[in-house]
Amino acid sequence: MDEASGPKEGNVVLAILVGAPGSGKSTFCEEVMRSSTRPWLRVCQDTIGNGKAGSKAQCLNSAAKALKDGKSVFIDRCNLVKEQRSEFIKLGVGPEIDVHAVVLDLPAKLCISRSVKRSGHEGNLQGGKAAAVVNRMLQNKELPKLSEGFNRITFCQSESDVKDAVKTYGTLGPLDNLPHGCFGQKNPDSKIQVGIMKFLKKTTVPVDTASREKGIGNSTSQIPGKNDSCCKDIENNSSIPNDTKLESEKVEGRAIDYAGSYANQVSLDDTLTLAFPSISTADFQFNHEKAADIIVEKVAEFSNKFENARLVLVDLTHKSKILALVKTKVAEKNIDTRKFFTHVGDITRLYSTGGLRCNVIANAANWRLKPGGGGVNAAIFNAAGPELESATKEKVKSLSPGNAVVVPLPSSSPLFTREGVTHVIHVLGPNMNPQRPNCLNNDYNKGCKILQDAYTSLFEGFVSIVRNQAEKPVENNVNLERKSLEFQDQSEGCSRNNVTNTDQKSKRDADHGSEKNKKYKGAQDGSELTFTDSRDQKVDSEHRRNDGGISKVWGSWAQALHQIAMHPEKHKDDLLEISEDVVVLNDMFPKAKKHLLVLARTRGLDCLADIQNEHLEILKKLHAVGLKWAKKFLNENASLVFRLGYHSAPSMRQLHLHVISQDFESKHLKNKKHWNSFNTAFFRDSVDVIDDISNHGKATLKDDDKLLSMELRCNKCRSAHPNIPRLKLHISNCQSPFPSYLLQNGRLVSASEDTL
């Protein structure tokens, strides 16, 4: 543990206990308070009302008062779901308070046994009724994540873990702090990567695998099954303590879907995190004091540029001089410790050994961007495997001091699969070592400027990733790692880029490190070439399209369809049809009962903006194949009506036609962008695109974000509705005919007629 990684000495601790009845929360509090030298208050809802059960509001008021008085507080409630914890976490706002979670994640049978056997419980949860309550709660627990607002999470998965946690908190003196991060987690099951490349259909993840990713090490084998004797209905919960009632009532209203897709089951920390080493202070021998000043200066400058992101300075040793210096200077600057903190550990194993998930890591590189040498550079290249060296070569051959380059990490890299790292940012700082190239001979005026530029370039690269992700309205606020694993089309709410408006593009496409981008023509898969240089940002004119627009840069996750189209033999088990010109597959996140994608296999056709006269035949081929599949489905279900079309600005690379039924009955249709991407001018009917190319040589595009934020209107009667649930309820009963424009030119396909 890194005692240097706490924000400053003597912080008050708000410790939120998380655990089912019988997990030992009250006993934990009592044992810590008995041995601790710092003042603690235990807030328990079962006794908050003068020894009797009270309300959550009373708990909040009591905790807030104690924190204000300088006391540390235990919140002794079940807190098994995020909603139960959120209001207590808000009490910890401010640098003087550390918000901890102590998770008593003990085996279900142990908790049930304790609850059933005990008597005289404060909340009267004991005997036979306790078994059913505990069982229900454990099956629906949501284990805490740092992104909820915790500084530290301690997982206790055995009684010995609990004893260690009691000792840790019991010996915490008034002037002591505990390091930040996750502690006590088991290594994630390597099998969680099964299904990453299953683009076609929903991937069924075993329950224990999903549980491990959600809870970091929990197995459903610990949870009694439906036939277990303890699984009984609660006949009378009048005597159940208030906190347990809230939890059990919430549980009863929720269904567990273990057959969903991998991406929808895995719950990941949704805070984007950059872990970086101190630049130039090791082999390049830069002065530690000056380097610490620059780190803190740049952290303060950049930490306010994004909400859902954080920076972590990492070093291998507890005795790190740079960590100690930065910690002291950060405390003086009063920087939000949720946006920036220090951590001791191997930067290539932050998640597997410390539970700290970092989507992006920085590499203190050499100017050749080659593996080898020692320190961080060698460690990262070794951990990432040959995939990182290959991906780096596709980007750039060398790097000058003060600059950084963002490299999306291929999903086959061990660093990606084991640690969840999706990007590596190579950065090169100044050199004060006469044995190394480009030595500055102790010229710290120049050296400090280069180091400032290096951190600026590094953080700008990270900011660009954060902004790029923020422009993709993703379900459940999933993080960049999950985006790299998911296959989803533009209709899933990803970012849109205006391929004809360069001003809008430069604003919206801050992708992987610079405000403007260029496409790397030499890469086999068309990956982007991006430099992050705080002093020199420009767009290569060679990468402008003939129409004057700038070619769209596709992020690594957006290449999935392209890879399928170019190499269908690798995905043949997942495809419905393969021919010389097209491939057909199910949309992984269908927005209706039937939703197919028909992909063109022609290189260079990424989207409608690339279509010209010579591509008319492939458009007709896509339409014919889509029509064939629509009719096939109509033979199976004559009540369906289909529409065939393209998104004006898709988020997935490779031209693809949507074949979608007009019922829009799907659990994946969740927000306004999902609906409007298929029911506004943003969706271009296939027949109209073919007419455009035939008559004008190019397609008319409606790439306007305003279209995607329009009010929700029924696709038949055009009535307006306030939200998706209300809209879905309406369209399931709407008997109006489709609008007249859809009834023309064969835009709709039904069983009664080939086209309506």
Element (H, E) at 360: strand 360-364
Q: Which residue has the higher pLDDT, 429 or 333?
A: 429
* C-alpha to C-alpha distances, 241 to 115, 244, 633, nearest whole angstrom: 13, 5, 53
Confidence at 554, pLDDT banded by 50, 70, 90? low
**Structure token digits, residue 33:** 């308070």
Same structural domain for residues 63 and 135?
A: yes
* 246 vs 173, higher pLDDT: 173
Same-domain pairing of 293 and 255: no
Q: Is the pLDDT of residue 109 over 90?
A: no
Rounded Cα gap, residues 384 and 371, in angstroms: 11
What is the residue type of 596?
A: L
For residues 727 and 715, what is the distance between their CA atoms, to the nearest angstrom?
10
Q: What is the pLDDT of residue 703?
A: 63
Q: Does residue 254 sit within a domain?
A: yes
| Catalytic residue check, 730 | no
* Whether residue 618 is found in the same domain as residue 672: yes
- Provide the terminal-to-terminal Cα distance of the chain, rounded to the nearest Å: 68
Residue 196 has pLDDT above 50, yes or no: no
Q: Helix, strand, or coil here: 659?
A: strand
Tokens of 590: 């269908």
Residues 664 and 726 in one domain: yes
What is the mean pLDDT of the segment spanning 654-670?
95
pLDDT confidence of residue 436: 84
Beta strands in 221-358 (DSSP E): 272-276, 309-315, 340-344
Report the pLDDT value the prediction gives residue 325, as an integer from 0 to 100: 92
Give start and end residues of each alpha helix (H) in 574-716. Answer: 616-636, 672-679, 686-696, 705-708
Report d(CA 451, CA 142) in Å as an integer: 42
Query: In which band, very low, low, confident or very high, does the pLDDT at 407 lie, cut at 50, 70 and 90?
Result: very high
pLDDT confidence bin for 120, thresholds 50/70/90: low
679 pLDDT higher than 50: yes
Mean pLDDT score, 449-465: 92
pLDDT at 46: 84
Q: What percent of the chain has pLDDT over 90?
A: 42
387-396, 544-553, 569-578, 673-682: least confidently modelled range: 544-553
Decide if 542 is inside a domain: no
Question: Which residues on adjacent β-strands are paired with residue 16?
Answer: 75, 101
Last residue of a domain, one of 245, 265, 285: 265
Rounded Cα gap, residues 244 and 665, in angstroms: 35
Q: Looking at the predicted structure, is the pLDDT value of residue 105 above 60?
A: yes
Place of tokens 């809870």: 215
- The whole-number pLDDT of residue 231 equals 33
User: Of 512-521, 537-546, 586-595, which one has max mean pLDDT?
Assistant: 586-595
Same domain, 252 and 308: no
Asked whether residue 2 carries a pLDDT value surpassing 60, the answer given is no
Confidence bin at 753 (pLDDT 50/70/90): low
The structure tokens listed for 115 are 């609850």
pLDDT at position 553, please?
A: 57
The answer on 733 and 680 residing in a single domain is yes
The CATH number of residue 121's host domain is: 3.40.50.300
Mean local confidence (pLDDT), 582-605: 94
Verify that 140 and 288 share a domain, yes or no: no
Task: CATH number of the domain at 319, please.
Answer: 3.40.220
pLDDT band, very low/low/confident/very high, at 33 (cuts 50, 70, 90): very high
Mean pLDDT confidence for 378-405: 90
CATH number at residue 661: 3.30.428.10
Cα separation, 514 vs 504, whole angstroms:
15
Strand 683-685 relative to strand 712-713: parallel, antiparallel, unpaired? unpaired
- Shared domain check, 296 and 258: no
Q: Is residue 245 pLDDT above 70, yes or no?
A: no
Instruction: Kindly report, residue by residue over 432-443, the tens digit of the pLDDT.
Output: 999 888 899 999
What is the C-alpha separation between 54 and 76, in angstroms, rounded? 13
* 562-598: burial string, b at 16+ Cβ within 10 Å, e else: bbbbbebeebeebbeebeeebbbbbbbbbbbbbbbbb
pTM of the model: 0.38
Give domain status of residue 544, yes or no.
no
More confident residue, 338 or 401: 401
Q: From the candidates 180, 656, 658, 674, which is the catalytic residue?
A: 656
Task: Compare 387 and 238 and report the one with higher pLDDT.
Answer: 387
pLDDT in tens, 641-656: 999 999 998 988 999 9
pLDDT reported for residue 258: 24
Query: Cβ(496)–Cβ(651) under 8 Å?
Result: yes
If 0-12 CB within 10 Å is exposed, 13-18 middle and 19+ buried, where does residue 124 land? Answer: middle
**Same domain membership, residue 303 and residue 190:** no
Looking at the fold, whether 55 and 187 belong to one and the same domain comes out as yes
Is the residue at 423 inside a domain?
Answer: yes
At 587, is the pLDDT very low, low, confident or very high (cuts 50, 70, 90)? very high
| Residue 254 and residue 283 share a domain | no
Residue whose C-alpha is closest to residue 663's, from 730, 746, 718: 730
List residues bridging with 397 in a β-sheet. none
Tokens standing for residue 71? 């006391």
The answer on 255 and 321 residing in a single domain is no
Per-residue pLDDT, 186: 54
Final residue of a structural domain among 224, 243, 265: 265
Q: Are 192 and 266 in contact (CB under 8 A)?
A: yes
The answer to whether residue 5 is domain-embedded is: no
Range of the domain at 358: 272-470
Instruction: Please name which of 535, 335, 557 lies closest in space to residue 452, comparing C-alpha atoms.
Output: 535
* Pick from 26-35, 410-419, 573-582: least confident: 410-419
Nearest to 78 by CA among 153, 147, 144, 162: 144
Question: Taking 50 as the threshold, does the pLDDT of residue 188 lie above it?
Answer: no
Contact of 131 with 104, CB cutoff 8 Å:
no
Task: Compute the distance between CA of residue 137 and CA of residue 158 in angstroms, rounded to an integer.
Answer: 19
| 3-state secondary structure at position 402 | coil
* pLDDT at site 440: 93
pLDDT the model gives residue 118: 65
Structure tokens that stand for 357 in this block: 């998930």
Structure tokens at 139: 């099956």
Q: Give all strands (DSSP E) within 59-96, no chain letters.
A: 72-76
Tokens 């085996």 belong to: 107
* Distance, CA of 631 to CA of 372 (rounded, Å): 59
CA distances from 717 to 89, 157, 670 (A): 46, 56, 21
Poorest-confidence range of 23-32, 242-251, 255-264, 514-523? Answer: 255-264
Q: Which residue has the higher pLDDT, 293 or 254?
A: 293
Kindly write down the DSSP assignment for every residue of 524-542, as one continuous string: TT--EE--B-TT-----GG
Average pLDDT over residues 506-529: 33
Q: DSSP alpha helices (H): ranges in 541-640? A: 560-566, 616-636
Model confidence pLDDT, tens digit, residues 610-649: 898 889 999 999 999 999 999 999 999 999 999 999 999 8
- Assess if residue 235 is contained within a domain: yes
Cα–Cα distance for residue pair 150/100, rounded to 1 Å: 6
Judge whether residue 657 has pLDDT over 70.
Answer: yes
51-101 residue pLDDT tens? 778 888 999 999 999 999 899 999 999 999 998 899 999 998 777 899 999
Report the alpha-carbon distance of residue 602 to residue 566 in Å, rounded: 8
Picking from 416, 442, 470, the residue at the C-terminal end of a domain is 470
Between the alpha carbon of residue 155 and those of residues 20, 184, 187, 217, the distances in Å are: 14, 5, 12, 10
Q: What percent of the chain has pLDDT over 70?
A: 72
For residues 692 and 669, give the distance between their C-alpha atoms in angstroms, rounded to a whole number.
Answer: 30
CA-based angle 644:646:650, to the nearest 5?
Answer: 150
Tally of domains in the chain: 3
User: What distance separates the 2 farthest-apart alpha carbons in the chain?
Assistant: 84
Q: What is the pLDDT of residue 335?
A: 81
Tell me if 491 is assigned to some domain. Answer: no
Tokens of 163: 């004893």
Output the pLDDT for position 236. Answer: 34
97-106, 239-248, 413-422, range with the lowest pLDDT: 239-248
Q: Which of 104-113, 324-333, 488-497, 698-707 has the lowest mean pLDDT?
A: 488-497
Spatial separation of the C-alpha atoms in residues 583 and 626, rounded to whole Å: 11
Q: How confident is the model at residue 9 (pLDDT cuts 50, 70, 90)?
A: low
Q: Among the listed ranges 105-114, 185-194, 230-239, 413-422, which one has the minimum average pLDDT value?
A: 230-239
Cα 624 to Cα 554: distance, rounded to the nearest angstrom: 28
pLDDT, position 396: 86
pLDDT higher than 90, residue 545: no
Average pLDDT estimate for 6-30: 84
Beta pairing class for 582-586 and 641-647: unpaired
| CA neighbor of 701 nearest in space, from 586, 553, 547, 489 | 547
Q: Which residues contact 602 (CB under 8 A, 6 or more apart)?
A: 581, 615, 618, 655
**Nearest one of 337, 351, 366 to 279, comparing CA atoms:** 366
The per-residue DSSP string of 687-702 comes to: HHHHHHHHHHSS----
**Least confident span in 80-94, 475-489, 545-559:** 475-489
In angstroms, the CA 151 to CA 6 distance is 9
> For residue 191, what are its two tokens?
């099998």
Domain membership flag for residue 526 = no
pLDDT tier at 119, thresholds 50, 70, 90: low
In single-letter form, the type of residue at position 362 comes to A
Question: Which tens digit of pLDDT belongs to each residue from 336-359?
Answer: 777 888 888 899 998 887 778 899
Q: Is 594 within 8 Å of 659 (Cβ atoms)?
A: yes
Nearest Cα residue to 469 out of 457, 481, 485, 487: 481
- Amino acid identity, position 558: A
